[in-house]
């Protein structure tokens, strides 16, 4: 997963707690994405960014917020975690419009 890292790798939260997931890339890519992956379902887009300082909603944005203050970092926040947010979260990046997305290794989140 060339140049895309995610922190943390695993996390267990209690309902109502908050946390932030970090995606970092060293490829100078403009576009960054946050997906969630649930059993029996394909990857679903939560939020994305087309450049530093920009963010936009994806398919399933509710309960999440994002920020892209620096080009290399894309943060995903859970304000008040719910069991329905138990999932594996993947970050992806690509350089320009139409380029292939490259994925990070994922963060496994469990909300009790």
Partner 1 sequence: GESVGLHLPTLSVQEGDNSIINCAYSNSASDYFIWYKQESGKGPQFIIDIRSNMDKRQGQRVTVLLNKTVKHLSLQIAATQPGDSAVYFCAENGVTGGGNKLTFGTGTQLKVEL
Residues near partner 1, by CB under 8 A: 1, 4, 31, 33, 40-45, 48-50, 56, 90, 94, 97-106
How many residues comprise the chain?
112
31: nearest Cα among 53, 3, 50:
50
In contact, 89 and 8? CB cutoff 8 Å: no
Min. distance of Cβ 77 from partner 1 in angstroms?
20
Min. distance of Cβ 103 from partner 1 in angstroms?
4
Nearer to partner 1, 17 or 106 (CB): 106
What is the Cα 8 distance to its own chain's centre? 12
Spatial separation of the C-alpha atoms in residues 48 and 17, rounded to whole Å: 23
Min. distance of Cβ 15 from partner 1 in angstroms?
26
Nearer to partner 1, 1 or 72 (CB): 1
């Amino acid at each position: 997963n060339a140049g895309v890292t995610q922190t943390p790798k695993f996390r267990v939260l209690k309902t109502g707690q908050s946390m932030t997931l970090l995606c970092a890339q060293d490829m100078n890519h403009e576009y960054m994405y946050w997906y969630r992956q649930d059993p029996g379902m394909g990857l679903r887009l939560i939020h994305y960014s087309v450049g530093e300082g920009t963010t936009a909603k994806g398919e399933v944005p509710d309960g999440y917020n994002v920020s892209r203050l620096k080009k290399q970092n894309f943060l995903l926040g859970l304000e008040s975690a719910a069991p329905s947010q138990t999932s594996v979260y993947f970050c992806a990046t690509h350089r320009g419009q139409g380029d292939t997305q490259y994925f990070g290794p994922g963060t496994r989140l469990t909300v009790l």
